Amino acid sequence: MNLSFHPLDLKLRRTFQIARETRNIQNNVVVLLKDENGIIGFGEAAPTSFFGEDVNSVTKVLGQSADLLKHADPFQIEDITLLLKNKFPKNAAARAAIDIALYDMIGKKLKIPLYKLLGLNLPTTKITSFTIGIDTLENMCKKVEEAKDFPILKIKVGFKDDIAILRELRKITRAIFRVDANTGWTPDEAIKKLNLMEELGVELVEQPFPIGSIEALKKVRRHAKIPIFVDEDIQDSTDIPAFSDAVDGINIKLMKCGGIREALRMIYTARAHGLKIMIGCNIESSVSITAAAHLTSLVDYIDLDGHLLVTNDPYIGAAVDKGRLTLPEGKGLGVGARCCAPLPSL
Ligand code: MG
């Protein structure tokens, strides 16, 4: 197989702010894996600095992986992904791009969509949340109004005015709220805020504390009813057992765990520990969002809106109508390119 890659700079529709950072652009990398018959698998890396990755680290890993993949059999995904994990343990987004491209290629070779390849139901019924980043109250109200077609909103929190903002937003929408503190709370603050949020229609809270705060999570669960999910705390399946008695659920992202294969391992590990599952994303194009969408029949909650937050997604994949995701029926990921998409060098 021949591996090539191209930078993909996604422009945010609106400045994106969470508890620890602010962004206007997301620098991703698109991967094209081509076999000897000219079949091309698409993949994407959406690196985040929180996990120590950026475009430079991704392209370095991809460059080094090209040699390893040259004579590899794409059907041996298990061997390939384990080899890459051993060689590049801290580069999950780069590995995810290759994993996704392998699954896309195999689906195309077998002429079936990815969800069928994985033995899954066609997931057309789940509704994704739509993210409202931290902003001035006025701008957050505007964002909520613009998102009026979405029945579930994920509101980013993690500042002292969280409750006041949620109260104002509740006045203008009946949407279900999920809140994500992105490590921004203290335990006492969390208990107080979660108890107040019960009356504001908050369905769950994500990552209230800095990573590794297992005792704090247990304490909050004893004093608040709203289910607690961890995101930043859980990168891959090996992280799950330590949190099984501390939280209600986990947020799985292809970019955190290294791709579809590890995401499946995480799903089954989480189920074995009695945990609920959300599948989430970074700011990504339709390539990797659609890859994650193929897994949605296995999870309880969907947060796959990364491609909706950008103005220049070069690809067409999972469609979203009033929050409801529909998968394309094409082979592999089923993703197509718009005219401006990066193309393979022929
Ligand atoms: Mg999160």
Q: Using the mean position of ligand 1's atoms as its centre, give its distance from the Cα of residue 64 in Å.
A: 30
Q: Using the mean position of ligand 1's atoms as its centre, give its distance from the Cα of residue 128 in Å.
A: 14
pLDDT averaged over every residue in the chain: 94
Q: Using the mean position of ligand 1's atoms as its centre, give its distance from the Cα of residue 247 in Å.
A: 14
Q: Which residues have C-beta within 8 Å of that of residue 173, sequence separation ≥ 6?
A: 144, 145, 148, 153
pLDDT at 124 over 70: no
Identity of residue 47: P
Q: What is the pLDDT of residue 219?
A: 95
pLDDT range class, residue 337, cuts 50, 70, 90: confident
User: What's the whole-number mean pLDDT along residues 144-166?
Assistant: 94
Q: What is the pLDDT of residues 281-333, one digit of tens each?
A: 999 999 999 999 999 999 999 999 999 999 999 999 999 999 999 999 899 99
Q: Which residues have C-beta within 8 Å of that of residue 51, sequence separation ≥ 6?
A: 90, 92, 93, 235, 256
pLDDT at 115 over 80: yes
Q: Using the mean position of ligand 1's atoms as its centre, give its distance from the Cα of residue 342 in Å.
A: 29
Q: Using the mean position of ligand 1's atoms as its centre, give its distance from the Cα of residue 231 in Å.
A: 5
Q: Using the mean position of ligand 1's atoms as its centre, give its distance from the Cα of residue 109 in Å.
A: 35
* Of 156 and 122, more confident: 156
Q: What is the pLDDT of residue 345?
A: 44
pLDDT at 346 over 60: no
Q: Using the mean position of ligand 1's atoms as its centre, give its distance from the Cα of residue 38 in Å.
A: 38
In the chain, what percentage of residues exceed pLDDT 70?
97
Q: Using the mean position of ligand 1's atoms as its centre, give its distance from the Cα of residue 22 in Å.
A: 14
